[in-house]
């Protein structure tokens, strides 16, 4: 079987199907930085596609067999490109090897002495971003792959020349089992992606397999406060470092204080003060993310001051409690939360910010997740003062189970369901007032609602 490693040398040429995606566009840039010529295709024009073109990439809109030219030596496909894709068919007919995106990233990670891979049901993008800030403050010149946009990088990736790669590691379809971490971080484990995993035990087994990919001289970093995460790594013969709010964790926080959206705390490592931190993103969950990033930095031998100043410079990743602007005197934020656990963390945080009302515009993500975690979604969505529901964002799925956001609305007192964004926007125009926080929430395109209202307010 041909390995992707065989193509990681200057002068090779490959083609990326779905090149406009966050991870795929980052992959294209990293491969180019290694001296590999890359072409690509995508269904639609997008900001990522435009940026790649500006960097000299040839990109086709639409998937067609003729996009696979005679000089292409390998193809990498996004998860949404199936075997009936005409470009994949053409590659198979020509004997050109087709790789999954995660196989490519996994092969790339082998070339680094330090491969820091951050996994977990929640918090991956934020923690990966925090690790990036710290490594940049430490002048490590890292290569980075994030599943979102980091303002520091103006993108979701960075091509560095140091010996460290920092990667967000997703469990869906066991993708992270293609990675080769020298440091594996497990932030938390909850039931999710139940269209692929059988149950929670199946998910925990996958995370355990991820942790076991760490070499004997590597490290596993795990959330001491998360029972499922601790259970998943129990008995693994590797160096394990724990983090959490518990004083029994190897890396924990003490003397926590809050001032608006800021939190200040001391980081304690093995009973002694390691450094103090002022964090400019709110919420207890972000303190935990910062502790995980600190534990990873300790394993990398990064000095405490780089942790202190790296975290102080972090103001959030794109679509993670991202301030969009104001509308009718209300503050408009967007957040990627699409799991009940993420909703809980988001609402816990917002409740401490002293707004008069919390208005949530929620767009569920995938039919299977909405159905599997229906009651948990209802529990969290009963908490805000006002709830507006958009229709479920299908993503990769078809609605074979007959579920709709309207069914959520029926279980949430006062909630309203709007099948289209126009209705949502009109409702927000009527109800928004000073003292409100408006949250557009979900992994789909609901952020557009807030962006349009903010733009309208500026006209």
DSSP structural state of residue 391: P
- Please provide the distance, in angstroms rounded to a whole number, between the alpha carbons at the two ends of the chain: 58
Residue 93 annotated in active site:
no
As a whole number of angstroms, the distance between CA 24 and CA 347 comes to 32
- Taking alpha carbons only, the member of 354, 303, 371, 343 closest to residue 139 is 303
As a whole number of angstroms, the distance between CA 113 and CA 305 comes to 23
Share of the chain above pLDDT 70, in %: 100
- Compute φ and ψ for 106, nearest 5 degrees: -60, -40
As a whole number of angstroms, the distance between CA 232 and CA 208 comes to 5
Biggest alpha carbon–alpha carbon distance for the chain: 63
Catalytic position from the list 37, 124, 358, 425: 124
> Which residues on adjacent β-strands are paired with residue 325?
332
Catalytic position from the list 102, 125, 128, 368: 125
For the segment 98-125, the average pLDDT, to the nearest whole number, is 95
Q: What residue ranges define each of the domains in the chain, with the CATH number in brackets? A: 12-101 (3.40.50.720), 110-312 (3.40.1190.10), 322-458 (3.90.190.20)
Catalytic position from the list 78, 102, 127, 168: 168
DSSP structural state of residue 414: T
* CA dist list (Å): 252 to 120, 224, 269, 285: 18, 9, 7, 13
* Residue pointed to by tokens 């920092």: 166
Residue 125 annotated in active site:
yes
- pLDDT of residue 395 exceeding 90: no
Residue 124 annotated in active site:
yes
Q: Alpha-carbon torsion 240, 255, 348, 376, what sign? A: positive
Average pLDDT across the chain, whole number: 95
* Residue pointed to by tokens 């125009």: 429
Residue 164: strand, helix, or coil:
strand
pLDDT tens string 243-293 = 999 999 999 999 999 988 899 999 999 999 999 999 999 999 999 999 999
pTM comes to 0.88
pLDDT band at 207 (very low <50, low <70, confident <90, very high): very high
Neighbours of 305 (CB within 10 A): 11
> Which residues on adjacent β-strands are paired with residue 323?
333
Is residue 306 within 8 Å of 413, Cβ to Cβ? no
* Stretch among 93-102, 125-134, 142-151, 386-395 having the lowest mean pLDDT: 142-151
């Amino acid at each position: 079987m041909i390995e992707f490693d065989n193509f990681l040398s200057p002068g090779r040429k490959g083609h990326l199907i779905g090149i406009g995606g966050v991870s795929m566009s980052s992959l294209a840039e990293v491969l180019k930085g290694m001296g590999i010529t890359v072409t690509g295709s995508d269904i639609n024009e997008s900001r990522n596609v435009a940026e790649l073109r500006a960097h000299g990439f040839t990109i086709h809109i639409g998937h067609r067999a003729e996009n696979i030219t005679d000089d292409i030596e390998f193809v990498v496909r996004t998860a949404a490109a199936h075997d009936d894709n005409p470009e994949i068919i053409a590659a198979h007919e020509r004997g050109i090897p087709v790789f999954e995106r995660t196989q490519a990233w996994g092969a790339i990670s082998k070339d680094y002495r330090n491969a820091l891979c951050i996994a977990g049901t929640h918090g991956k993008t934020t923690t990966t971003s925090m690790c990036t800030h710290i490594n940049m403050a430490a002048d490590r010149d890292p290569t980075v792959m994030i599943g979102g946009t980091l303002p520091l990088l103006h993108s979701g990736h960075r091509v560095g020349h140091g010996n460290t790669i920092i990667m967000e590691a997703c469990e869906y379809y066991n993708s992270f089992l293609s990675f080769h971490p020298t440091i594996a971080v497990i932030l938390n484990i909850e039931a999710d992606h139940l269209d692929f995993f059988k149950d929670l035990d199946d998910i925990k087994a996958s995370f355990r397999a991820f942790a076991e990919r760490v070499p004997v001289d590597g490290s596993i970093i795990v959330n001491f406060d998360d029972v499922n995460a601790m259970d998943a790594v129990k008995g693994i013969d590797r160096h394990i470092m724990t983090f959490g709010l518990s004083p029994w964790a190897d890396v924990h926080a003490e003397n926590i204080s809050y001032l608006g959206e800021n939190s200040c705390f001391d980081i304690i490592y093995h009973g002694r003060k390691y450094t103090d931190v002022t964090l400019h993103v709110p919420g207890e969950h972000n303190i935990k993310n910062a502790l995980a990033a600190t534990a990873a930095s300790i394993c990398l031998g990064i000095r405490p001051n780089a942790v202190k100043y790296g975290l102080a410079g972090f103001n959030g990743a794109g679509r993670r409690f991202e301030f969009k602007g104001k509308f009718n005197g209300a503050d408009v934020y967007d957040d990627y939360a699409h799991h009940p656990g993420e909703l809980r963390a988001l609402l816990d945080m917002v409740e401490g910010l002293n707004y008069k009302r919390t208005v949530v515009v929620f767009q569920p993500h995938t039919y299977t997740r909405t159905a599997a975690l229906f009651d948990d979604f209802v529990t969290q969505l009963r908490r805000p003062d006002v709830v507006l529901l958009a229709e479920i964002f299908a993503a990769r799925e078809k609605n074979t189970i007959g579920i709709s956001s309207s069914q959520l609305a029926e279980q949430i007192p006062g909630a309203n369901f709007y099948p289209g964004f126009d209705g949502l926007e009109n409702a927000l125009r009527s109800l928004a007032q000073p003292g409100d926080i408006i949250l557009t929430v979900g992994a789909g395109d609901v952020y557009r609602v807030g962006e349009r209202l903010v733009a309208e307010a500026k006209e």
